[in-house]
Structure 1
């Protein structure tokens, strides 16, 4: 369909993109109009004009509200990223003499949020108030996908080498621990043989999860068969079910430090075999790295080194530390 400028392309403006994304998020033109401070016919007109320019329907009108079509879902995803990039650009070019400014979206492994999230936000707010932080938490596989898709600027991942699209900087190695109710009496100075832990009912990450892959590989090496009681994709749920007596679980030390300090769970490092994971800082391999992203990456690394040096990251080692432990 010809565009307004006669070039044969499609002309889309920022208002249309905002209307598209907002309607998709709230499922209602009326609610979207309220959030955008527009009248309802204006939002309807922006959506309809965009549909006419693209030659496809972007929404289905259902009893449950406005639902994106397959084409609409693609456009919403792209529009959201375009709006985010525009917002980032505005933040970077806004005049702040001598200050680093911008929006930085950071991916944190769910197990590390208790240790790193507040400390990172506090340090960046104190030293670089012109930087707006956005923290996203998930498991490693999801974070890697978001980083590849351009939704994150940098992210913690684990057991990842450099890829064609990402640089991976090793930050820390840490052991996996058997985690049990306090009544089990597990202790940090008494490692538990993997076969012993595997013989208990286990609350496990779901199959396909990177942590589950580490556990399955260790079970194979130990010649043990896992007694799985329940599977979940949530670390807090794993700990909650262990606390309720549904079995033991396996987690990285960083994810249970607060629970051990408060005495709500007991835990011990796994042995025979020892099971380790390597946490890396992953960043896009190509494209310009904004100064704000460099600043946040430096601060995140500093926070991790400090946590290891002061013993807040359980059974962790920095790269280059001597170790005879078996690694994954």
Structure 2
């Protein structure tokens, strides 16, 4: 399959117009239309509905766009880096993830990094947010996804996503995804929270202070799996992003209710430790991989998060910025 045609397809889908896409790509409109027809013929499906105002994706076109967003960028990066100094880097890169995100991104990023940078030995460590920050400042972790905003101005940081936190209970808790709970209703419930700071615990404490209510921190457990097991027994409730208990929810072992008045939102960003001895372009490419995988997970419905409008995989020249 011609990857150039796939890139043409994605550009048209983004611009919603073959004419505008041709301008962006710097090719003639008839030539671009011909490439689209050849792609549709090769796939045996129509990818676009033609309208007076431009084009819109068919159902098959939408499926193709969702499937291509991350993988095509991955192929392009691999082709760009073959024979480049970046592809020849031979060293360990330690990537940190919070426990609530590790299952979502860990294996995907190792696989992607292996194809783009085959000589890099990538190690993934999973810690609570506070320990990740501390490990970065002690040069034990190179790059990490951490809770934002950055708790230390020495780190290069850019926000990646935001995601709603939900009230999580066991199957018999009576919670329903269609019946939101007001934040003030949480005051009567026993909770299990991690002791780590910063993290979800601090987000909840700050919200409780603003609402002038007390939240019962009944149990402190620094293990996501044990926390979920405890919630499943009905002894306690939790407040987690949906991505942290998706498997248990599908199996019917846990359920949840959205939180409102106010909604509780967690921000995650990508951070790079100071004095990282890696080429700047490597860090940029790594950031692009993280961003592309994140976008693909959001668009295919695997991650109920919102990509930050501040996201860009380009580090600034000084730490402490929201963008690195």
TM-score tier after normalising by the smaller chain length: 0.5 to 0.7
Query: Does 2:282 match 1:313?
Result: no
Instruction: Call closer, same or farther: CA 1:248–1:130 in 2, change over 3 Å.
Output: same
Give the secondary structure class of the aligned counterpart of 2:172.
helix
Aligned residues: 225
Q: Give the distance between the partners of 1:199 and 1:137, measured in 2 at CA.
A: 32
Matching residue within 171, 178, 183 for 2:172: 183
Give the aligned partner of residue 240 of structure 1.
229
Distance in 2 between residues matched to 1:243 and 1:175, nearest whole Å: 21
Cα deviation for residue 114 of structure 1 reads 1.1
Which of the pair has the greater relative contact order for Cα pairs under 8 Å at 6+ separation? 2
Task: After TM superposition, give the deviation of residue 293 of structure 1 in Å.
Answer: 4.4
How do residues 238-277 of structure 1 correspond to structure 2 at under 5 angstroms?
238-277=227-266
Match of 2:106 in 1: 117
The alpha-carbon deviation at position 252 of structure 1 amounts to 2.0
Deviation at 1:190, TM superposition (A): 2.6
Q: What are the equivalent positions in structure 2 for 1:1-328 lying under 5 Å apart?
A: 97-98=83-84, 99-102=87-90, 103-161=92-150, 163-206=152-195, 208-290=197-279, 292-314=282-304, 316-320=305-309
The SS at the match of 1:184 is coil
- In structure 1, the partner of 2:67 is none
Distance 2:255 2:187 in 1: 16
Q: How far apart, CA to CA, are the structure 1 residues paired with 2:119 and 2:177?
A: 42
CA-CA distance at 1:171 after TM superposition = 0.4
Q: Quickly say closer, same or farther: Cα 1:246–1:287, change in 2 above 3 A.
A: closer
Question: What CA distance in whole angstroms lies between the structure 2 residues aligned with 1:165 and 1:295?
Answer: 22
| Structure possessing the higher radius of gyration over alpha carbons | 1
1:55-111 per-residue CA deviation (whole Å, 9 max, x = no partner) reads xxxxxxxxxxxxxxxxxxxxxxxxxxxxxxxxxxxxxxxxx9543433211001110
Q: Any gaps of 5 or more consecutive residues in structure 2?
A: 1-81, 311-324
Q: Give the CA deviation at 1:310.
A: 1.9
Question: Distance between the aligned counterparts of 1:186 and 1:144, measured in 2?
Answer: 34
Displacement of 1:144 in angstroms is: 0.6
Query: How big is the shift at 1:239?
Result: 0.7
Query: How large is the RMSD of aligned CA atoms in angstroms?
Result: 2.3
Alpha-carbon offset, residue 286 of structure 1: 4.0
Shift of 1:222: 2.6
CA distance in 1, matches of 2:196, 2:147: 17
**Using the alignment, how far apart are the partners of 2:151 and 2:236 within structure 1?**
36
CA distance in 2 between partners of 1:128 and 1:190 (Å): 46
Q: Distance in 1 between matches of 2:93 and 2:278?
A: 11
Q: Distance in 2 between matches of 1:198 and 1:134?
A: 41
Post-superposition shift, 1:294?
4.1
- Answer yes or no: is the 8 Å Cα contact 2:147–2:198 preserved in 1: no
Q: Which moved more, 1:161-170 or 1:254-263?
A: 161-170
Identify if the C-alpha distance between structure 1 residues 179 and 283 changes in structure 2 by more than 3 Å, giving closer, same or farther.
same
1:86-143 deviation line (CA, Å, top 9, x unaligned): xxxxxxxxxx954343321100111001111111122222333222110011111110
**Distance in 2 of aligned mates of 1:179 and 1:113:** 19
SS in 2 for 1:179: strand
Q: Residues 104 and 293 of structure 1 are in contact (CA less than 8 Å); yes or no, is this contact kept in structure 2?
A: no
Aligned to 1:83: none
Q: CA deviation at 1:230?
A: 1.5
